[in-house]
Structure 1
Amino acid sequence: MGAARPLGVESIDRMLGGGLGAGKLHELLGGTARDEASALGLAAMFALALTRADAGDGAAPILWLREEAVQRRAALHGPGLADLGLDPARLILGVLPDPKSLLRSGVDALRCAALGAVILELSGNPPVLDLTATRRLALAAEDSGVTPLLLRLRGARPMPSAAQTRWQVSATLSAALEADAPGHPALILSLLRQRGGAAGLDWTVEWDRDAGSFRPAALPGARLPLSGGGSLPAAGTGSEAGDDAWPIAI
């Protein structure tokens, strides 16, 4: 079983049994279309938190797999990644023609123990992304210890999955720094599902790029239990995720 990598917020790490499981598949979704930039940022943040112990000389590279059509439309933003603390020199970008090629390449890449994490970015709900495909990813990760982050955007809906955890992210207001400088990236993280563990809580957090971890948000944010048996509301709906929500440029 992979080691747990603390995310930095005690209540989240306790819920996860010590932190995010390394060598386990984790799934990330945006709350709404406007939260997709935050979901992209969260993928980078999780990858950095997972590889934090490798920081310094010889830090493990992070592989990001994207579909060709998506890359042509909106390339990853190097300065935005650097602002989150990810040295672009650590990032390997793989551009694949379709979801089937992307998933196949992801399984192959996860067999390379020299990688720190593999981000697989997919659009919508492609038929090839079924329970069998996610099991292949999960098994490859368990064998190598490399962590796959399945980043699902552009109309993606939750589907049956072998992921250890499923997260939904929404942007929220950040607290301004001195002289009204932009604050730290602030997010609402919703743990939708955890295999063999509790789920159904939201946390409002900030990203600390220097520490490579999260911390409770400077602005008060409630951690709300979800009602049993009901449908899951979109995280970040309501007044705290208005038009002034902090955008993450990726």
Structure 2
Amino acid sequence: MSFPMSFLYHPAFQSLVLPPLLAGLGVLLLRASAGPRWAPLGAALGLLAALAVLPGFDWPASARAQKLPWIVLAGTALAAGCLWRTTESSRAARWWPWGGAVLAWAAACFWLAGAAAGPLQQGMALVGGAAALALLLLIPPIGPLSARGVPVSAGLTLASLALAGLAGTGGSLLLAQLALMLAAVVAVPGLWAWWRPSSGLVVSPAALLPLGLAWLVIATSLLMAGPGAAPKEAAPEDPYYTPRWK
């Protein structure tokens, strides 16, 4: 395989180069076509495009990593509905995304665990996820920087990097790569809103909805996998078990 094609399949390119490029392109296109209010949702579209490359939109999705793109897709559709139904300054602009995210997370919990998890485990996962989503989506802004969503975007970026470190040291390199992809994508609208406040871009709770769901799915998959379970969680073309960049 030639060097350019080999580089396209390399985990470093798929994790740290392709996702932010696609997210930036998504933000640009939505800002030009729908305005600055919709622009941050382009980050979720960029993540979906990156997930189409790895692990791909496979169906039926048997491994937990294969279910991530479908859950992010559902979260993005919910986010678009929230943006369409609410105004930026209304209370519903925070409560609707949180309510939709909790419902999506409840369905995702059942899909991820299936019959293997008991009611207590399912309930704990649901409550923990709802609390994490509340921290991400419901905290009111304090100050102009917070009003643009910069701190919460930075917090989710750091949380995704921490999750990547935990996954990498915990034996699941595929989940570590997915967490790095998420971190690279989340950073794009946050940096945009911070660097160019005149653009009017605000990282709204609706824009963070699918990204928060992605973080919860990766974290839950890591907890369910446990030490040494990475091969079972690998996608059919997991680059760490069938490398194509050599």
Q: Quick check: TM above 0.5? A: no
Structure with greater contact order relative to length (CA < 8 Å, sep ≥ 6): 2
- TM-score normalised by length of structure 2: 0.28
- TM-score normalised by length of structure 1: 0.28
